[in-house]
Each structure stands twice: as structure tokens, then as C-alpha cells.
């Protein structure tokens, strides 16, 4: 800890043009954490082995942070569902060790679990937040003190960006005018916090917009951001049908990510004007992959779990790209170390500060070569009896191993009325998540997949998204980067399958995962399988 504090002091003295009472002690922290934003930012384009959507999206503000700090190549969420992911991130524990925080519908925060924002507060930080921290769940945003540190009076319409702009444009305003109005809300909320805080204390501010979460306006990517869906031709992963409907849907998703980038630009500008930018560590990420697309949200494939993580600020040399594997729960001990706070008991995580403060690129910590992700329940009513779809996965540099504990269940939820002969309307599948396969958000892509379920050319895409899966899946990432071909049953991969399966079970057992340590697993019983009316 002493080495860290000395390094930060030196960096601040070199970078900051003005003196701050708290500058010789602890830096500020601004954490930007978006709903449903995967690994999409233009700073990642150069890291991709082939052209991807990262060569289409434009995120100049995220790129600015990346240009003076660290870009993580292998950052993964604890769980590809917002509440369990956030439960893990806020506590530094695996999601399965957060009580009822391990699920989405029906989540309840366990007040006995220390949360890093409140620990930072107790160590001398002023707290602030705009938008979502921990929800849906009860009490909302409990790990940051509920709503007592909320700064949102300037407005929150920016978290429904495309809807707000489209509606206002229909009312006669220009896109530029409405965009400026929404960005002014972001600025007003943040400036209110900066004005109200104690200038003699460091601060932690959580910015949590939800605009990247569905649903957004069809065609908004092109209309509001100039993203041509045809620019995505040949750049989508193989499991996404490369057709106009899906390309447009994905372009709209990228548009919301560009709005998120614009919000970040407002925060950076305000920090600079307040004289705090050089004394602030900025960390940017999201809680899981793309919603309403196969393989994304609620899946343990990379498209659902591999997310952007970018950090810059005092004591963080850059620009650098690091290959170290990290689970986002590692941010708890990282933020606590930055803030000089004592680490609580029960952590399953490890501080990233040695990686952040290093001058090395590539692999910095030789032990950071794997990560575990997992899932229990997302939408309560996705399956009969409100049952979960229990999964755990081990991701290494070369392989992804997935263990599906209940392969007899539907991974994305029950088909409900979908059969070979009939299905809900395209409008229902586009707008009502509960119409079928409720663990995939309603979307034009979902409607397209169901519509083409009997077409021989596209049926495998439908099956990839919705069909039952075997107990074990193994993907050779060098031969199959899109994770299409399951080789768990191939003889030539048997030694690898066995090795990874044993490693996964060993780590889960050591971490006390109820899914493997309890014969009668708690996640299969109330309160974890109680119905809950909250919709996500």
C-alpha cells in the first residue's frame, strides 16, 4: 500500500497544475459502468484479429482515456446478467457468494456483505452517483447507500437516448438540439455533485447510464449517429446472421454505445474544467454483452462475458494493452487499494493495481491466465417453476470450457408457443421479452431467428441461440474464435477437456460454490425460485 500511495503522489505532482488538499493522499475515482455494453469501442479495433464492429463504431472519448492509460484485452464479467454481475463487482465475491444477489428477479441485497463504495466512504471519500448501480433488486442501489448519494435532478432522459431524441425530433426539435439537451443533463448532474462535495476530500463517483440496455429505436444507429448497417457486412461474428435486419439491429446497438461515449466526454470535460482530471482515476466498463442477440447477454460465450475495461489516471502509465485475465469483481480490491481502505474478509478477488501501475504491456501478472464466469437465474419465469439455468465456465487463453449443470432445461427459456408450425408474431417477439425464450431480450434479431427457424440455411443459428445444450462444451479458440464448434466429445481434445473440467471444479469447490458443494443446491429452492413480477 505504501508503494502505491507514493507512486500516486509523484504522478499527481507531475500531472496536476494546481494544488489539492487531498492530492498528497488519495486520488478521485470516476467509474463509468453501462448496462449491456460489451467489448465495443474503436480502441479495440486494432486488437481484433480481423475486422469487427469495432472498426465501425467511433468512441473518441473512450479512446482518449485508453490513449493515456490501459486497455484490458481479457476482461470478463462474473455473470452475464446485470444484478448478479453488479453484486459480484460491488462485493469482490463470486456472484454465487452474494446470497440472493446471485439472481436477477427476486434479488435482495445482503446487508452483512461489505460493499466497496461504502468502504471508500468510511475511509474518507465523498460518494456520488447518477443512474444505475445495483438493480433490479431490493433495496435499490443498497451497496452505495440506496439513493442518498444520487445526483439526478438535472434529468435522466439521456438513459433512454434514442427514444428521447426520436420523440423530441417528432415534436419539431433538431437532433443536434436534443442531443445537446441530453448531454446537458449528464453535465448538470455531475456538476451538482462536484459543487456539493467537500473539496478537501477525494471523491468516488459512479456513472451508470442504461441507454445501451434495450429497447432502443429501430434505425436510430443510422439516423442519430450515421452508422451504416451495411458497414457491418462481414464484420459480425459467425453466430449472428449477416442479414439486413440483424445488421440494422446491431448498428442501433452501436449507436447507443456511441451515446455512452458522448456522455463520458461530458464527464471528462467537466473534470478538466474543475481542475480534477489529472487527479482522477477514470475506469470504464459494462456489465455484460449485447442484449437480444444470440450468444450475448445470459450466455457464457465471449460475446456475453468479455467486456471492455479501460482505465487511466495518476499512477497508471500508458498507453498500454494488457493481456492479463480479470474478472470485474477484481475492481473491489482495486478501488479499495487506491482509496487506502482496508480489504474486508470473504473476497474472491485480487487487486488490479499491480497491473495498472506497471509499465509493462502484454502479460503483466503471470498468474492471471484464466477466469471463471457463471450464471443461475435471470428472468424468473423463463422456465417452468422459475428454475435457473445453472452454468459455470473456465476461460483460458486457448480454450473456453462450459459446464451446463441442467442440460435438460432450455438455456434461454421455454419456447412457450413456438413450434415448427406456429410462433408469436414478429411484433410480439420484437417488443415482449416474455413471448418466448425470455432470457433473450425482445428484439428484431430474436423475431428474425424465430421466423427463420425452419429455413435450412438459418436453422443452425436458431438452434445455436435457443436449443438445449450438452452438459459440457469446449471450444478451441485458435481454430474457432467465434466459439461455434463444440469439441468436448472429440477424442483429440479429451485430455484438455478433462484438465479444464478438473480445474473448474477445483476452483469452484475452493470458492464454496453452492452449485458444487451442496447436494441439495440452494439455488434450486425458495427463495431463489420464487416468482417475482419485476421485469428486466
Nearest-angstrom CA–CA distance, 486 and 460 = 13
Nearest-angstrom CA–CA distance, 285 and 33 = 5
Query: Considering the domain boundaries, does residue 11 fall inside one?
Result: no
Residue 262: which of 178, 172, 150, 153 has the closest Cα? 178
Residues 177 and 285 grouped into a single domain: yes
Nearest-angstrom CA–CA distance, 425 and 134 = 33
Residues 472 and 393 grouped into a single domain: yes
Strand locations in 45-157, DSSP E? 70-76, 126-131
Residues 111 and 240 grouped into a single domain: yes
Judge contact between 160 and 211, C-beta under 8 A: yes
pTM above the 0.85 mark?
A: yes
Query: Considering the domain boundaries, does residue 32 fall inside one?
Result: no
Which among 357, 373, 389 is the end of a domain? 373
Query: Considering the domain boundaries, does residue 400 fall inside one?
Result: yes
Query: Considering the domain boundaries, does residue 26 fall inside one?
Result: no
Q: What's the pLDDT at 18?
A: 38
Which residues of the chain register pLDDT less than 70?
Answer: 1-24, 532-536
Q: Which residue has the cell 474486508?
A: 344
| DSSP β-ladder status, 28-34 and 280-286 | parallel
Would you list the DSSP string of 363-420?
Answer: --STT--EEEEEE--SSGGGSGGG----EEEEEESSEEEEEES-TTS-TT---TT--S
Q: What's the pLDDT at 361?
A: 98
Query: Considering the domain boundaries, does residue 22 fall inside one?
Result: no
Residues 126 and 239 grouped into a single domain: yes
Residue 307: which of 78, 13, 22 has the closest Cα? 78
Query: Considering the domain boundaries, does residue 25 fall inside one?
Result: no
C-alpha cell at 275: 481542475
Long-range contacts from 452-456, C-beta under 8 angstroms, 24+ separation = 452/241, 453/418, 453/420, 453/423, 454/420
Residues 344 and 459 grouped into a single domain: no
**CATH code assigned at 351:** 3.40.720.10
C-alpha cell at 423: 410462433
Query: Considering the domain boundaries, does residue 533 fall inside one?
Result: no
Can you say whether the dihedral through the CA atoms of 60, 65, 67, 71 is positive or negative?
negative
Q: HSE (CB half, 13 Å, CA atoms) of 78?
A: 29
Residues 424 and 345 grouped into a single domain: no
CA angle 151, 156, 158 (to 5 degrees): 130
Residues 213 and 325 grouped into a single domain: yes
Residues 118 and 203 grouped into a single domain: yes
Query: Considering the domain boundaries, does residue 172 fall inside one?
Result: yes
C-alpha cell at 357: 501501475
**431: Cβ–Cβ under 8 A, 6 or more apart, which residues?**
215, 442
Long-range contacts from 12-20, C-beta under 8 angstroms, 24+ separation = 12/278, 12/279, 12/314, 15/278, 15/279, 15/314, 16/275, 16/278, 16/279, 17/275, 17/278, 18/275, 20/199, 20/275, 20/276, 20/279
Nearest-angstrom CA–CA distance, 520 and 536 = 28
C-alpha cell at 422: 406456429
112 is in which domain, residue-wise?
Answer: 2-6+40-373
* Percent composition of the chain: helix, strand, coil (DSSP 3-state, to 5): 40, 15, 45
**407: Cβ–Cβ under 8 A, 6 or more apart, which residues?**
468, 469, 470, 471
Q: What's the pLDDT at 532?
A: 67
Residues 342 and 483 grouped into a single domain: no
Buried b / exposed e along 144-175 (16+ C-beta atoms within 10 A): bbeeebbbbebebbbbbbbebbbebeeeeeee
Which among 335, 356, 373 is the end of a domain? 373
Q: What's the pLDDT at 117?
A: 98
**362: Cβ–Cβ under 8 A, 6 or more apart, which residues?**
321, 322, 323
Residue 356: which of 386, 316, 321, 396 has the closest Cα? 316
Residues 364 and 400 grouped into a single domain: no
Residues 167 and 84 grouped into a single domain: yes
Residue 198: which of 281, 117, 124 has the closest Cα? 124
Which segments of 216-352 does DSSP mark as H helices, in order?
220-225, 244-273, 302-305, 331-338
Q: Which residue has the cell 443452425?
A: 460
Residue 276: which of 313, 223, 310 has the closest Cα? 313
**32: Cβ–Cβ under 8 A, 6 or more apart, which residues?**
207, 260, 263, 264, 267, 282, 283, 284, 285
Nearest-angstrom CA–CA distance, 94 and 101 = 10
Task: Give the count of domains, the chain.
Answer: 2
Long-range contacts from 109-112, C-beta under 8 angstroms, 24+ separation = 109/134, 109/137, 109/138, 109/139, 109/142, 109/143, 111/142
Q: What's the pLDDT at 25?
A: 79
Which among 338, 373, 408 is the end of a domain? 373
C-alpha cell at 62: 473512450
Residues 229 and 363 grouped into a single domain: yes
What is the torsion angle, in degrees rounded to the nearest 10, for the CA atoms of residue 523, residue 526, residue 528 and residue 530? 140
How far is Cα of residue 218 from the mean position of the Cα atoms in its chain? 23
Amino acid at each position: 500500500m505504501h508503494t502505491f500511495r507514493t507512486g500516486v503522489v509523484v504522478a499527481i505532482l507531475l500531472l496536476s497544475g494546481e494544488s489539492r488538499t487531498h492530492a498528497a493522499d488519495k486520488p478521485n475515482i470516476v467509474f463509468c459502468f453501462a448496462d449491456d455494453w460489451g467489448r465495443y469501442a474503436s480502441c479495440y479495433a486494432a486488437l481484433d484479429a480481423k475486422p469487427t464492429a469495432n472498426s465501425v463504431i467511433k468512441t473518441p472519448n473512450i479512446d482518449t482515456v485508453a490513449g493515456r492509460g490501459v486497455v484490458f484485452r481479457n476482461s470478463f464479467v462474473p455473470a452475464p446478467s446485470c444484478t448478479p454481475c453488479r453484486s459480484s463487482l460491488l462485493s469482490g465475491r463470486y456472484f454465487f457468494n452474494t446470497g440472493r444477489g446471485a439472481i436477477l428477479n427476486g434479488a435482495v441485497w445482503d446487508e452483512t456483505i461489505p460493499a466497496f463504495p461504502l468502504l471508500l466512504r468510511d475511509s474518507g471519500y465523498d460518494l456520488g452517483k447518477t443512474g444505475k448501480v445495483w438493480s433490479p433488486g431490493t433495496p435499490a442501489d443498497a451497496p452505495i447507500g440506496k439513493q442518498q448519494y444520487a445526483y439526478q435532478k438535472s434529468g435522466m432522459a439521456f438513459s433512454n437516448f434514442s427514444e428521447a431524441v426520436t420523440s423530441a425530433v417528432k415534436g419539431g426539435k433538431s437532433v443536434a438540439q436534443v442531443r445537446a439537451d441530453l448531454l446537458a443533463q449528464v453535465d448538470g448532474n455531475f456538476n451538482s455533485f462536484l459543487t456539493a462535495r467537500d473539496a478537501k476530500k477525494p471523491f468516488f463517483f459512479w456513472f451508470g447510464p442504461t441507454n445501451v440496455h434495450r429497447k432502443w429505436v429501430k434505425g436510430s444507429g443510422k439516423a442519430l449517429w450515421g452508422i451504416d448497417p451495411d458497414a457491418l457486412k462481414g464484420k459480425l461474428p459467425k453466430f449472428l446472421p449477416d442479414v439486413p435486419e440483424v445488421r440494422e439491429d446491431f448498428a442501433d446497438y452501436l449507436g447507443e454505445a456511441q451515446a455512452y461515449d458522448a456522455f463520458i466526454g461530458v464527464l471528462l470535460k467537466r473534470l478538466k474544467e474543475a481542475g480534477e482530471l489529472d487527479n482522477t482515476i477514470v475506469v470504464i466498463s459494462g456489465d455484460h454483452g449485447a442484449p437480444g442477440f444470440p450468444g450475448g447477454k445470459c450466455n457464457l460465450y465471449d460475446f456475453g462475458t468479455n467486456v471492455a475495461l479501460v482505465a487511466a489516471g495518476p499512477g497508471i502509465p500508458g498507453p498500454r494493452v494488457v493481456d492479463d485475465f480479470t474478472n470485474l469483481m477484481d475492481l473491489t480490491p482495486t478501488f479499495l487499494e487506491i482509496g487506502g481502505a482496508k480489504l474486508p474478509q470473504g473476497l474472491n478477488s485480487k487487486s488490479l493495481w499491480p497491473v495498472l501501475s506497471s509499465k509493462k504491456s502484454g502479460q503483466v501478472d503471470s498468474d492471471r491466465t484464466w477466469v471463471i464466469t457463471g450464471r443461475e437465474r435471470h428472468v424468473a419465469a423463463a422456465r417452468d417453476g422459475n428454475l435457473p439455468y445453472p452454468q459455470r465456465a473456465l476461460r483460458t487463453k486457448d480454450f473456453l470450457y462450459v459446464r451446463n449443470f441442467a442440460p435438460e432445461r432450455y438455456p434461454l427459456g421455454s419456447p412457450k408457443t413456438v413450434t415448427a408450425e406456429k410462433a408469436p408474431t414478429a411484433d410480439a417477439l420484437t417488443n415482449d421479452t416474455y413471448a418466448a425464450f425470455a432470457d433473450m431480450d425482445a428484439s428484431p434479431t430474436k423475431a428474425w431467428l424465430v421466423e427463420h427457424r425452419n429455413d435450412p440455411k438459418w436453422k443452425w443459428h436458431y438452434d445455436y441461440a435457443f436449443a438445449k445444450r450438452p452438459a459440457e462444451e469446449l471450444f478451441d479458440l485458435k481454430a474457432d474464435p467465434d466459439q461455434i464448434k463444440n469439441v468436448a466429445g472429440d477424442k483429440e481434445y479429451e485430455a484438455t477437456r478433462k484438465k479444464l473440467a478438473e480445474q473448474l471444479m477445483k476452483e469452484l469447490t475452493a470458492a464454496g460454490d453452492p452449485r458444487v458443494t451442496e447436494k441439495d443446491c440452494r439455488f434450486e429452492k425458495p427463495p431463489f425460485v420464487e416468482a417475482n413480477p419485476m421485469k428486466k
